[in-house]
Amino acid sequence: MKILQVTSVFPPRIGGLEKCVYNISKGLVGEGHQTIVYTTNSPRSKTYELKDGVVIHRIPVFITVFGAPIALFLPYMIRENVDLVHVHVPPVFGAISSIVFGKMKRVPVIVTFHNDTVARARWQNFLVRIYNVILNRLILGKVNLITVPSQAYRLELKRRGIDENRLRTINNGIELSTRKAFNVGKLKQQLGLLGKEIVLFVGALEKRKGVEFLIKAFPKVKNKILNVKFLIVGNGSERIHLESLANDLKASGDILFTGHVTDEHLEVFYQICDVFVLPSLYETFGIVLLEAMAHRKPIIATRILGVSELVNSGFNGILVEPRNSEQLSEAIIQVLSEEDYANRLGMNGERFSKKFEWKTAVSRYVDVYKECLR
């Protein structure tokens, strides 16, 4: 098959959706399918690239909406002759081009609904409502099939009125074969963290990630675990506020913000942490949970849609209520104080993570493509 992938975000831009589309595209090439990606030129990089067998076209950014780069894909895409279009949302604007392209070329269009768009400020709520109406009625109603990353979100879209017969669940994956073994003690020494208990968060520093509640949990944790350090990996619009909060708690020396890191450095942070925490208020899947589990790390996360599907509290992690710093601190103290319990959570998580490999996810996408082409 010749498949056109359309996405507003793609590497070298850093993020979960970016990584997801790249791994799908690379996996399809590995399965023998020709794969072309149309994306935005954000951040500015090569307008044309051949990487891991994937043909990549980067289109100039027309406008930025809610932090997402938007491009006018259709005038560039129209030259392509493909068997199928696979578009990734949010945002919806690439999907509009894809639907028009599909009608003009008479080829099926499937959409992967990665997550909702969440307002960053109160004044944006009205715009987000309009956006979601466009998404639900004009986009999801016009494509052949819709894939979602979790069963929980499939049920959520069904609740919103999307025909369940047009929904398919395909979990995201992780690269199990790329795990590397490091000398953890040596790494901690190099980073000045030898003898420290490390609590790790990885993700965008946005309100929906709930990082402020993790930071507010720090004083109680520090009171019990004197050698604790919080490592916050990622960047976003909330970083200045979060750094200010850490400073207000007189914890700026113990709560370390790294900004964006390379995959190689992220691998190091997974290796050296003692517990991984995802305090999100909203997630559709939470791929970082699986990455941490693959490193045999105990997990603490919030009991929300998309996360509860991955974390069985007491088996491969601990679930706490969202926005609850008290429960977060208690869970962190328990894991850092009870080594046998932490090891058991980590080992169970590692076994669980092996069910989620990109090769399996890509095979599921190929099945969906064939279903559309029948």
Span 199-214, pLDDT tens digits: 999 998 989 999 999 9
Distances (CA, A) of 306 to 24, 155, 171, 362: 20, 11, 10, 20
Residues 144 and 284 in one domain: no
Residues 229 and 131 in one domain: no
Does 120 have pLDDT greater than 60? no
Residues 291 and 244 in one domain: yes
Which domain CATH number covers 129? 3.40.50.2000
DSSP class of residue 276 equals E
- Give the confidence band of 333 by pLDDT, cuts at 50, 70, 90: very high
**pLDDT: which is higher, 102 or 260:** 102
Instruction: Report the b/e string of 225-251 with b at 16+ CB within 10 A.
Output: beebbbbbbbbbebbeebbebbeeeeb
Residues 321 and 198 in one domain: yes
Residues 336 and 365 in one domain: no
Rounded Cα distance between 44 and 276, Å, is 33
Residues 204 and 55 in one domain: no
Name the region of 197 (left: φ>0; alpha: ψ -120 to 50; beta: rest).
Answer: beta
Residues 22 and 102 in one domain: yes
Residues 323 and 203 in one domain: yes
Q: Rg of the chain over CA atoms, in angstroms?
A: 21
Number of H helices, E strands in the chain: 14, 16
Does 372 have pLDDT greater than 60? yes
Interval 175-197: pLDDT, tens: 876 666 667 787 788 788 889 99
Stretch 147-169: mean pLDDT, rounded? Answer: 89
Task: Write 194-198 long-range contacts (CB < 8 A, 24+).
Answer: 195/227, 196/227, 196/228, 196/229, 197/225, 197/227, 197/228, 197/229, 197/274, 197/336, 198/228, 198/229, 198/230, 198/231, 198/272, 198/273, 198/274, 198/275
Averaged pLDDT score across all residues of the chain: 91
Interval 211-248: pLDDT, tens: 999 999 999 999 999 999 999 999 988 999 999 999 99
Interval 29-43: pLDDT, tens: 999 999 999 999 988
Residues 199 and 346 in one domain: yes
Residues 202 and 281 in one domain: yes
Residues 59 and 157 in one domain: yes
User: What is the residue range of 317's domain?
Assistant: 176-353
Stretch 270-283: mean pLDDT, rounded? Answer: 95
Residues 231 and 361 in one domain: no
Specify the number of domains making up the chain.
Answer: 2
